[in-house]
A and B are shown apart, each in its own frame.
Chain A
Amino acid sequence: MKHIKTIKTRDLCESAKNGGCGECQTSCQSACKTSCGIANQSCENSKK
């Protein structure tokens, strides 16, 4: 039987190759203004 179900996630090691374009939303800019993390931001890199 399958003991482990792996959810499809972005490979963070792989993201280092084409990452860092800086186009994504600044973390705290809207809706939060106090306690934001970055997990709920979307990637806007057109070359990923």
Chain B
Amino acid sequence: MEKMIHQYKLNGYNIILDVCSGAVHAVDDLAYDAIALYENTPKDGLYKILREKYGKDAEIDECLSQIEELKQSGQLFTPDTYEPMADTLKKRTSGVVKALCLHVSHACNLVCSYCFAGQGRYHGKSALMSFDVGKQALDFLIENSGSRKNLEVDFFGGEPLLNFDVVKQLVAYARSIEKEHNKHFRFTLTTNGVLIDDDVIDFCNKEMSNVVLSLDGRKEIHDRFRVDSKGNGSFDLIVPKFQKLAASRKGRSYYMRGTFTHANPDFLNDIKVMLDLGFDQLSMEPVVCAPDDPSALTAEDMPVVFKQYEELAALMIQRRKEGRPFTFYHYMIDLQGGPCIYKRISGCGSGTEYMAVTPGGDLYPCHQFVGEEKFKLGDIWNGVSNTAVRDSFEECNVYAREECRTCWARLYCSGGCAANAYHATGSVKGVYKYGCELFKKRMECAIMAEVDRLYGDEDDDADS
């Protein structure tokens, strides 16, 4: 059984992660070096190395006894005993669906050149979902949700507000049946903002637990890709609408969701623009596209992106201390109340508990597979008929990929995105290496920021 720790230095902190217990330790230099050597160095050798660097035997003794205490209490060098559970969970959750991505519109009023969905049409014809198809999708969800109470439905596209009347009708229908089925629907909406008006804002505030608003940051970056059919940038049109919507959320979630590409690996500048515009719930995602696409991130972009992530974490800490906090989706981490081990090893749920529904009612493993005919699972009238594809997604857990089995981030990542893996390697059980590198850097930054939140003020007090 693999015993694994991960240790790193960032922003003045020495951090040790005990991978399998989930424990996080902030340590001094002596403990940092001692923990690195502890499991693989005979005690005499360990003392010799530490004495040469740190001198005092008493300090070394004290440090080593603290390390041993943590080891004995299951917070350091914890072995991985979880692999058999991956199979158990699969059996326990087989056939249960709890979340749908409803593609209410395969049409869009923007023609963003980097769109993974082929300008909203998913490489097919333009289409809008009818109320009858959407209603059947909601019935399918309820019928297949077993004992799950919380059901999630994201209105997605294309641009879902091109079919806003159907969105409203579907929400009303779901609300009319959720109690009798002992279910609770959580709705979300992902929009480019062009059609936001007061009616949309009122509806979102009443019914949407989250709204995802697409904005790439700097005007010139946003308008490079996010244009209308005549090539006009959309920044000036949508920003005031987003500002009005965000201001009206009053404690409810919204996310400004940007995409960074090869054109703006320095995306912290885009985050700063979003902050200057008054937004404080932000998400910035690496582009999803073929490796030969001009927008694709390259090896040369990686160091730039890593630096952005580090500086972003430092900016978050600074703004929190100034009383002007903001959240960054990927840096939200709940170390005390986060997911249980089952969730951590079982993957994102695509193709099993989460599916996408096309305007015509076809089922796909997730929104990113829509239009890839060989991944079609079935439809909302007859359920899943392509069990081979479903089975391949059921097998996607953190132990299904050799690279994940030994990765320190596996219980934060859960094996990553099957669509990214497929697009990068041709297999849903492959690994998208750039994605892994970015994820690991984000986790290091997120955990460091959390350590600072818990201990940074204490250290500041001690300094003053």
* Assembly CA distance A28 to B367 (angstroms): 10
Q: Does A31 lie within 8 Å of B329, measured CB to CB?
A: yes
A10 touching B338, Cβ below 8 Å: yes
Among listed B169-177, B192-200, B315-323, B346-354, interface-contacting one: B346-354
State whether the Cβ of B25 lies closer than 8 Å to any Cβ in chain A: yes
Partner of B336, one of A9, A16, A19, A39: A9
* B contact residues around A41 at 8 Å (CB): 334, 338-339, 343
Point out the residues of chain B lying under 8 angstroms from A7, CB to CB.
Answer: 23-26, 335, 450-451, 454-455
For B344, give its contact among A6, A22, A23, A38 (CB under 8 Å). A38
Q: Which chain A residues (1-45) contact chain B, with CB distance < 8 Å?
A: 1-13, 15-16, 18-20, 22-45
Which B residues from 1 to 58 make CB contacts under 8 A with A?
A: 16, 20-28, 30-31
Report B-chain residues with C-beta under 8 Å of the C-beta of A2: 66
Task: Say yes or no: A3-B348 contact (C-beta < 8 A), given A30-B212, A44-B150.
Answer: no
B368: chain A residues at CB < 8 Å are: 33-34
Please report the C-alpha to C-alpha distance between residue A36 and residue B367 in the assembled complex, in whole angstroms: 14
Say how far A42's CB is from chain B's closest CB, in angstroms: 6
Chain B: interface residue total (CB-CB under 8 A): 95
B191 within 8 Å of A by Cβ?
no
Q: Which residues of A contact B (CB under 8 A)?
A: 1-13, 15-16, 18-20, 22-45, 48
Shortest 5 CB-CB contacts between residues of A and residues of B: A19-B340, A20-B342, A15-B340, A26-B99, A39-B412
Interface residues of chain B, those whose CB is within 8 Å of chain A, are 16, 20-28, 30-31, 59, 62-63, 66-67, 70, 74-75, 78, 81-82, 85, 88-89, 92-93, 96, 98-99, 101, 116, 148-150, 152, 154, 156, 186, 188, 190, 209-210, 212, 253, 255, 257, 283, 285-286, 288, 329-344, 347-350, 353-354, 366-368, 409, 411-414, 416-417, 419-420, 435, 438-439, 443, 446, 450-451, 454-455
